[in-house]
C-alpha cells in the first residue's frame, strides 16, 4: 500500500484490518449499488406498470393490462453499435501499432470495448482491470454492482474493492498499486486467502458525466424511464378501455309488441317492434385520435432525448438521400456518439499505458513512450451514400487536390490506412510498374481484400 492509502485507512478506519468491509457497507456505496441493481431489474422487464394493482369492475375483480415496452434496450443497442459497430483502428508508429494490434487481437479487445460501452450507457460507469495471463495481456471487466473505488478528498483513486456474494459467502478483492489481496468470510470469519503482485496498477474507471459527482457516472436510463413509464401506462389503459367500454348495451325506445322479449343474446336473434319504436346498441366511444397524438408525442420526446434518429427506428420513410442529408438526419446521433467516444477514449488511453508497461516486462519496448506514437480512430456506423463519396474522391484526385493517403482515409471500404498503403505497395511491386493515384483508386474499388481491424 502507498502512503496515501495507509493514511486514509488510519484516519478514517483507525487502521482496522477489515476497513474494506466497512467501506463497502457505507450508506453512500449501498445506495449506488441499489440504484444499479434497480436498473438491472428494469432492463430485465420489471417495469413500474407490472405492479399496477387490480380493481373492482362490475362487481368483479379486474386485472388490468400490464404492457411492457422494452424501448430502452433498443436505444442502448443502437447507441453502442453506432459507435462501435465498426472496430476501432489503431494508428501511429508502425512498430507500435503492430504490437498493439497483436495484443488487442489476442485479448479480444474489440468485444471488451463493446461490453464497456454497454455497461457505461446502462449504469454510468464500468471498471476494467488489465493483467497478464501466461504472457497474454487480457482485461477483466468488473461488474458495476460489485465495484467500490476508494477516492481521497482530491478525487484521486487510492484503492479499488471488488465485493460480491456467492452461495451465501462474501468475497473481497482489494486492489492497490502493487498488490491484489483476496479475502473471504467462509467459515464464519474474515480471512486472507491469497495475495498477488499487481503489475498493472489500479483498475481503470470509465464513467460518464454527472453534474452531482465528478467520479461517478450517470446512466442514460435516468432520462428515459419516466417517458417509458408514461407510454406503458397510456397504452395499457387504452387497451383496458377498449375491452371494458366497447361492450354495447341494448336500448329499446317506444312500445314493444306484446309477447316479444328482447333476447339476452341479440346477435343472430330477431326483434319485432311496434310502429314508431326504435332499438339500438349504445356503447362508449374511444377517442383514438387523442391516444395517437399523446403516444406519438411521448415517443418522439424519447427519441429526441436519447438522440436517436427516428429513421433508425422505422418511424420515418426516406429514400434517395444525398450524403449531406444522411448526415443531417444523424446529426444528434453523431453528437451523442462523440460524447461516448470521449468517455471511452479517456479509459482506453489509460489501458494503452498499462499495456506498454506489461509489454516492457516482456522485453518489448519502444524508443518513444509518449502517446504520440499511438492513437486510435472510431468509425461511426452511420449509413452513407458510398457511391457519392467515391465519386467525390475520384473528382478531387483528378484535380490533383488530394493525396492517396487521404483518399484511403475517406474511403468507406477502408478502415486501416497504413495496412492498405502497404498492400498497394506490395501490389505495385508485383505488377512491376509505378501506379498513379488514378490506377490505385480503380484497384481500390475492384479489390475484395479487407483490412485487418482491431
CA angle 185, 191, 197 (to 5 degrees): 120
pLDDT in tens, 253-308: 766 555 555 555 555 455 556 666 676 766 666 677 888 888 889 988 998 898 88
pLDDT in tens, 342-358: 999 999 999 999 999 99
In eight-state DSSP terms, residue 203 is P
Q: What is the pLDDT of residue 320?
A: 62
Closest CA to 101 of 376, 347, 409: 376
Q: What is the pLDDT of residue 449?
A: 46
> DSSP secondary structure string, 351-408?
HHHHHHHHHHHTT---S--SGGGEEEEEE------HHHHHHHHHHHHHTT-S-HHHHH
Neighbour count for residue 452 (Cβ, 10 Å): 13
Q: What is the pLDDT of residue 173?
A: 96
Q: pTM to 2 decimals?
A: 0.79
Q: What is the pLDDT of residue 223?
A: 93
Q: What is the pLDDT of residue 450?
A: 46
Spans of the chain, pLDDT less than 70 = 245-252, 254-277, 279, 281-286, 314-323, 368-372, 432-454
8 A C-beta contact, residue 120 and residue 218: no
Amino acid at each position: 500500500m502507498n502512503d496515501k492509502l495507509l493514511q486514509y485507512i488510519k484516519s478514517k478506519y483507525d487502521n482496522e484490518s477489515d476497513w474494506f468491509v466497512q467501506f463497502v457497507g457505507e450508506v453512500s456505496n449501498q445506495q449506488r449499488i441499489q440504484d444499479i441493481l434497480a436498473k438491472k431489474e428494469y432492463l430485465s422487464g420489471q417495469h413500474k406498470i407490472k405492479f399496477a394493482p387490480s380493481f373492482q369492475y362490475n362487481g368483479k375483480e379486474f386485472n388490468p393490462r400490464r404492457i411492457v415496452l422494452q424501448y430502452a434496450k433498443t436505444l442502448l443497442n443502437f447507441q453502442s453499435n453506432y459507435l462501435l459497430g465498426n472496430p476501432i483502428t489503431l494508428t501511429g508508429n508502425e512498430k507500435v501499432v503492430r504490437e498493439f494490434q497483436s495484443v488487442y487481437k489476442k485479448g479480444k479487445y474489440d468485444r471488451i470495448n463493446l461490453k464497456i460501452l454497454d455497461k457505461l450507457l446502462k449504469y454510468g460507469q464500468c471498471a476494467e482491470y488489465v493483467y497478464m495471463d501466461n504472457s497474454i495481456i487480457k482485461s477483466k471487466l468488473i461488474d458495476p454492482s460489485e465495484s467500490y473505488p476508494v477516492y481521497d478528498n482530491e478525487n484521486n483513486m487510492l484503492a479499488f474493492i471488488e465485493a460480491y456474494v456467492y452461495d451465501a459467502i462474501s468475497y473481497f478483492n482489494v486492489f492497490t498499486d502493487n498488490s491484489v489481496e483476496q479475502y473471504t468470510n467462509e467459515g464464519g470469519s474474515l480471512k486472507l486467502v491469497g495475495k498477488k503482485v499487481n503489475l498493472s496498477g489500479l483498475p481503470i474507471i470509465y464513467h460518464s458525466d454527472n453534474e452531482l459527482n465528478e467520479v461517478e457516472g450517470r446512466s442514460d436510463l435516468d432520462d428515459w424511464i419516466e417517458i417509458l413509464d408514461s407510454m406503458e401506462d397510456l397504452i395499457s389503459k387504452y387497451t383496458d378501455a377498449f375491452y371494458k367500454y366497447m361492450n354495447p348495451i341494448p336500448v329499446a325506445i317506444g312500445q314493444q309488441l306484446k309477447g316479444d322479449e328482447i333476447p339476452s343474446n341479440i346477435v343472430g336473434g330477431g326483434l319485432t317492434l311496434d310502429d314508431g319504436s326504435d332499438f339500438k346498441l349504445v356503447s362508449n366511444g374511444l377517442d383514438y385520435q387523442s391516444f395517437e397524438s399523446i403516444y406519438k408525442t411521448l415517443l418522439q420526446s424519447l427519441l429526441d432525448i436519447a438522440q436517436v434518429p427516428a429513421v433508425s427506428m422505422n418511424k420515418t420513410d426516406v429514400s434517395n438521400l444525398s450524403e449531406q442529408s444522411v448526415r443531417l438526419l444523424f446529426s444528434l446521433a453523431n453528437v451523442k456518439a462523440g460524447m461516448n467516444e470521449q468517455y471511452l477514449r479517456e479509459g482506453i488511453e489509460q489501458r494503452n499505458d498499462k499495456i506498454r508497461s506489461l509489454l516492457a516486462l516482456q522485453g518489448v519496448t519502444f524508443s518513444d513512450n509518449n502517446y504520440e506514437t499511438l492513437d486510435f480512430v472510431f468509425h461511426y456506423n452511420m449509413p452513407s451514400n458510398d457511391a457519392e463519396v467515391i465519386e467525390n474522391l475520384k473528382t478531387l484526385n483528378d484535380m490533383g487536390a488530394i493525396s492517396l493517403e487521404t483518399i484511403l482515409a475517406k474511403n468507406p471500404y477502408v478502415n486501416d490506412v497504413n495496412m492498405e498503403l502497404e498492400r498497394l505497395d506490395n501490389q505495385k511491386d508485383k505488377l512491376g510498374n509505378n501506379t498513379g493515384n488514378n490506377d490505385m483508386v480503380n484497384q481500390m474499388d475492384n479489390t475484395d481484400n479487407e483490412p485487418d481491424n482491431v
